[in-house]
Amino acid sequence: MQRLRIQDWSLGKVARAMNGRLTGQTIGMVSPRLVTTDTRAIEGGEIFFALRGERFDGHDFLEDAVDAGVCAVVVDDESAIPSGRAAAIIVDDTIEALGRLGQALFREATQEGARAVAVTGSNGKTTTKELLATLWSTVGEVWATPGNLNNHIGVPLTLCAMPADCDHLIVEMGANHGGEIEELIKLAPASHRIITSIGSAHLEGFGSLAGVRKAKSEIFGSSSRATTAIVPHGEREHVIPKKFTGHVITFGDQPEADARIVEARTTTVDGRIGTQVVIDAARRKWHLSLPLVGAYNAWNLAAALSTLLSEGVDVDEGELNAALASLELPGGRLRVVEIDELQILNDAYNANPSSMRASFGAFRDWCSGDEIPGDAVAVIGDMFELGEVADREHQSLALWLAEQPGLSALVFVGQYGPAMAEAASGRRVDQVLDCSDLDEVAQWLAERGPTRVFLKGSRGNKLERLLERLKAKSQNVMS
C-alpha cells in the first residue's frame, strides 16, 4: 500500500485537527495507518471513527475495533471507550470530526502544491472523475475518489486516504438535496470545479430542475479569484453565481464554447467499442480516442481536458491517448457484456430521466454500425428518487423509448413496470413486456438468438442480477 499523508501525522496532530481530546494508551503504532469506519476492514493500526446513523451506531462496535488492533478510536461518548485498552479521541460529533480531519489533510496537501479538482453534476460525474484521473496521470501522481464515496462521509474518507506523494487530487461530490455540496466544497475547496451536466436527477430532494441547478452551483461557494469554474456552455447563465469572481470555462458543441466538441463518432478499434472525439480548445484541435461508447462522453472528456489546459500544463496528445486506452469505468457503467448470442450494453449502475435518454443514445450509436443480424431490446428498471413527478417521468420515458426506430422489444421491470408497459403499448416498438421476475426475463432473452440488449435502471433495481442469471443459464447449457 502507498504511504498515506496521514501516516506522517501523530495522534496528537490528528486530535488537534478535529478539535478533539486525546486520552488513553496507544496500541502499537503512535501514528495511524489509515482511517476506517468499518470494523470488518480493520487490519491493525487504523483510527476507527464511531459514526452514528439512522440504523447503526459505531459506538456499539468499539470492543470489536480494539480487539482487531486499531491505533485509536474516535468517539463522542466517553463512557463507551473500552476501559484502559485503547487510545481515544473524544469529540462533540464523530461525523463532523471526520470532516474536519479530511479538511485539514486537504489544506496541508494543497498548501504543499497539490492541485485539486472537484466534480459534481446530474450525470457523468463519476465518468468525468475517472477521465480526470486518467488525463492528470500523464503529468503526476493522482488520487481520486474511490468508487462512489462522494457524500458527507465518503468525501472525508477520500481525503483521509490521500497518498503522501499525491500531485493531483480529484474529488467527486454528490448530493440528493440542497445544502450538501455547499458543505462538501468547504472540506475540499478545489481550485478547479466542474459541473458535468444538469438533469432531472434526485427531484424528490431538489424539487425541480431549478432546484437541481441551485444545488449543483453550490460547488462554487468558498471560492476566490483563483478558482476556475468549468460548466456546460448552455448552463453558464444558470449555474454561475453572480458573486463568483473566478475564471469560467465552458464546454459543449456550441460554436462559442471554450472547449468545443467538433466531432464525436462511435468506432470499433481492435474489437473494442469507443468514440473518436475532436475537441477545439486552447487554439488547437485535439484528436482523442475514448474507449467509451456514447457521444455524450465527449462532453465529459472536454470538461476534464479543460482542467489541464487552463493550468498551462504541457499536454502531449499522444500521451493522453495512451492513457485513455487503459481507461476502465467502475462496474455497471456502459460495459459491453457478451453472453452466448447476446451482446449487452450494461449501464445498470444508476438512472434518472436525462441519463436514461443519454445512455440509450449511446446504445443506438453502438447498434447503428452493427453488421451482425439480430434484434435490439431494452430492459428498463425503475428510476428512484423522483418524488411527486415519478409517475409522469416513467410514463414519459416509456413513450419516448417506444418511438425509437430499430427497437424491437421493451421489457419493463420494477414498481413502475405496469404503467410504463401500458404507456408504451401500441407504439412503434414491436413488443412490450412487463415482467418483474428476472428469471423469466433471462429465459426470454436466452431464447431470442442474436440480440443486442440495453440494460439500465437505478441501483436499487439490482439489474446486474439479470446478467448473473444469463451467465448461469449459459454455463448450464455448456455443461
Q: What is the pLDDT of residues 234-244, one digit of tens each?
A: 999 999 999 99
State the Cα–Cα distance between residues 17 and 155, nearest whole angstrom.
16
Instruction: Look at the chain and count its residues.
Output: 479
Q: Which spans in 331-463 are helix H?
A: 353-368, 390-402, 417-424, 438-446
Task: State the pLDDT confidence band at 270, using cuts at 50, 70 and 90.
Answer: low
Query: What is the model's pLDDT at position 331?
Result: 64
Query: What is the model's pLDDT at position 28?
Result: 42
Query: What is the model's pLDDT at position 29?
Result: 45
State the Cα–Cα distance between residues 44 and 366, nearest whole angstrom.
48
Q: Is the pLDDT of residue 31 over 80?
A: no
Over residues 38-77, the pLDDT tens digits come to 999 899 899 999 999 888 899 999 999 999 989 999 999 9
State the Cα–Cα distance between residues 216 and 240, nearest whole angstrom.
10
Q: Is the pLDDT of residue 27 over 50?
A: no
| Cβ atoms of 188 and 120 closer than 8 Å | no
| Beta-strand runs (E) in 173-283 | 192-195, 228-232, 247-252, 259-269, 272-281
Query: What is the model's pLDDT at position 201?
Result: 58
The full set of domains in the chain, from first to last, is: 5-92 (3.40.1390.10), 113-324 (3.40.1190.10), 335-478 (3.90.190.20)
| Cβ atoms of 241 and 254 closer than 8 Å | no
Query: What is the model's pLDDT at position 33?
Result: 86
Please give the angle made by the CA atoms of 427, 431 and 434, to the nearest 5 degrees: 100
Mean pLDDT of the chain: 89
Q: What percent of the chain has pLDDT over 70?
A: 92
**Which cell numbers in the block locate residue 289?**
480516442
**Which cell numbers in the block locate residue 393?**
417521468
Q: Is the pLDDT of residue 313 over 80?
A: yes
| Strand order from edge to edge, sheet including 272-281 | 142-144, 168-172, 115-120, 192-195, 228-232, 247-252, 259-269, 272-281, 284-290
Task: State the pLDDT confidence band at 307, using cuts at 50, 70 and 90.
Answer: very high
Query: What is the model's pLDDT at position 200?
Result: 64
Over residues 160-170, the pLDDT tens digits come to 999 999 999 99
| Mean pLDDT, residues 252-276 taken together | 86
Residue 44 DSSP code: S
Query: What is the model's pLDDT at position 375?
Result: 87
Residue 370 DSSP code: -
| Strand order from edge to edge, sheet including 21-23 | 21-23, 87-90, 72-75, 47-49, 35-36
State the Cα–Cα distance between residues 150 and 401, nearest whole angstrom.
31
β pairing state of 142-144 and 168-172: parallel
**Which cell numbers in the block locate residue 268?**
470499433
Nearest to 405 by CA among 361, 373, 371, 447: 361
Task: State the pLDDT confidence band at 271, using cuts at 50, 70 and 90.
Answer: low
Return left, alpha or beta for 414; rule: phi > 0 is left, psi -120 to 50 is alpha, else beta: left
